[in-house]
Chain A
């Protein structure tokens, strides 16, 4: 189990921005950040609900992991606190755009049907597979993302997106991609990266959390950047400052 307050929660802050982008690399999967956010969004005191767009894994996979973390996802699904959209079974019509519009319609109606629209989180695992489903059309996926982001500002819900950082071209002047567009959309970027110094037994990688300047009722919030190491364990994740681990 995670300690009640850990470094990741501290870095994300009490109310992170409405759009959280998790960027991982092939060496360090960011799935654990997603699991953490899933648990956090469903936490009892927040009274939250989740619309989960699963493209990468099946429901039983998430269910097993959440069970290890001490959370019953199936029960939450029966309570209608989790709307699980298993996209792997979804057949896209020949015109893939209609598929995305249909998907958005599902999310919108799911959120509008709830009495309290706050504390609803839309999670997408992962967006690169949605791009593949849209036959590589990043523009269509971005249109879809625009509508999802608009939902967060209209209805006060939040959005968590997982994306892979290393599947896009890099270099001096990389061409614009889905990845660069998403970085502009996000209010909080969570990056999981391997250690600079190479592989280690006790440290699985480092997390960098960038909270951008956001305008809220109290004016502009200050930007904040946190960086720490993590170790993924059987039933939880340990977060610690570099060098603090014995």
Chain B
């Protein structure tokens, strides 16, 4: 599920583990990968700016779109892009512009505000150190981590051997300052082994697949229908690897809207089949849509609301004392308030993370527990 994927990127890496990594994979049959990339980028950036995520900042390696494009994208979604730094491998990726201006090839990466220009995409080790420099530069030294997004690994793969690219990505993944990373690859621009090698390094694989198969060429008159369908919708398949080696496969549909890519549960005919398979019983085995909505609205104690305010929830004990002696209750509430003012040190933040699990799922709830 797209949401579970975003959540896993938000939560970042556990101590002593490599960071979660997401491969987004598309093909010419279903060429909407860059929009899915933009979706995950904006969701992570909004989590970072609301400080809900482990990552304190995001380093975006822009190879196939200009930095301005990404800043416009984030701005249009109302996301504060202050915590995003772009390593610009788009404007002059091979140093041609410098050569035209007859500048020396020894140019240092030039930094313009949040954008750092990078001029030698063919050198992956230089690229690695630039990504880490940019990340350290704005997260600061210390323990804070940052996220890394690469908008098209395909461009790097065109210039460097697979081994160099795999080493770049796995070094980043195992780096103790990287919280999570994700990248886009156009799978049909490379040999199949390239995308499988990258899938091994990632904990999650999101692949965009065509709803209607289209054969190359003009022979099939039904191709037009397929092209039409695949140009704005498709199937979203997520493969999530858990630490114990268990692999979870999730299917969703997606379609393009004016506001971006939208993920929906697998279309109605499949749910109809599912529902008819559920035995007819007196009580409800599943939640209705309305019940799910209501459940999502419940405010849990200590839940982080993203507005830096404590949630006022009903406290059972208070009403009990109120019933007995209103005067003493008033006093105790006053003293409690005073205590809060003077102490005010302890704080619990709870971020809801398990609402994708059905209540009776066989998922181990302590799977993420670090003992």
Contacts and interface: CB of A to CB of B under 8 A. Distances in A.
Interface in B207-221: 216-219, 221
A142 B158 CA distance: 10
A195 to B, nearest CB: 9
Contact of B32 (A153, A171, A213, A222): A213
A219 B76 contact: yes
B164 interface: no
A208 interface: yes
Interface in B171-206: 186, 188-192
Interface string B69-90: 1000100100000000000001
Residue with the greatest number of chain B CB neighbours at <10 A, chosen from A153, A174, A194: A153
Given A142-B158, A150-B90, A176-B188, A210 B231 contact: yes
B7 interface: no
B28 A225 contact: no
A199 interface: no
A220 B260 CA distance: 6
A154 B256 CA distance: 26
A167 interface: no
Contact of A218 (B190, B227, B258): B258
Interface residue tally on A, bucketed by range: 35 or more
B227 A210 contact: yes
Contacts of B35: 213, 215, 220
A101 B99 contact: yes
Given A142-B158, A196-B221, A220-B260, A212 B66 contact: no
Contact of B91 (A101, A154, A171, A196): A154
Interface in A168-193: 170-171, 173-176, 180-181, 183-184, 193
A218 B258 CA distance: 8
A150 to B, nearest CB: 6
Interface in A136-174: 139, 142-143, 146-147, 150, 153-154, 170-171, 173-174
B304 to A, nearest CB: 29
Nearest to A185: B64
B68 interface: yes
Contacts of A6: none
Interface string A216-236: 011110110101000000000
A213 B216 contact: no
A225 B227 contact: yes
Contact of A101 (B66, B100, B217, B231): B100
Contact of A184 (B28, B93, B224, B231): B28
B66 A154 contact: yes
A108 interface: yes
A170 B260 contact: no
A101 B188 contact: no
Interface of A: 101, 104-105, 108, 139, 142-143, 146-147, 150, 153-154, 170-171, 173-176, 180-181, 183-184, 193-194, 196, 208, 210, 212-213, 215, 217-220, 222-223, 225, 227
